[in-house]
Amino acid sequence: MADRPRFFDDLAGVAGGAFSALTGLREELHAMVRARIDEALSSLDLVRRDELDVARELATRARMAQEDADARLARIEERLADLEKAVTAPTPQA
């Protein structure tokens, strides 16, 4: 009967070693997959989120400035048309 507990101890030791080996294998596999994914992503020339947000903000400001410039140009063209009408309008002779 003394052999039986030792057998279970040996079996538990083997199972513990296998579990430890599988844990190490899992961690190594995880590191390899992460390295491959990082390598693939770096070759895609992706933009980081903060850089995209900055570019979006710049585009928004540029669009607003363009709209302001278009409105200002329309007012200037309207004033110019009014001035041209005033200059070319016949003056009444008294």
Q: Once rounded to an integer, what is the mean pLDDT over residues 1-27?
A: 78
DSSP label at residue 94: -
Q: For the whole prediction, is pTM greater than 0.75? A: no
pLDDT single digits (tens) 37-94: 988 888 888 888 999 999 999 999 999 999 999 999 999 999 999 999 999 877 776 5
DSSP label at residue 89: S
How are the residues of the chain apportioned to helix, strand and coil, as percentages rounded to the nearest 5? 85, 0, 15
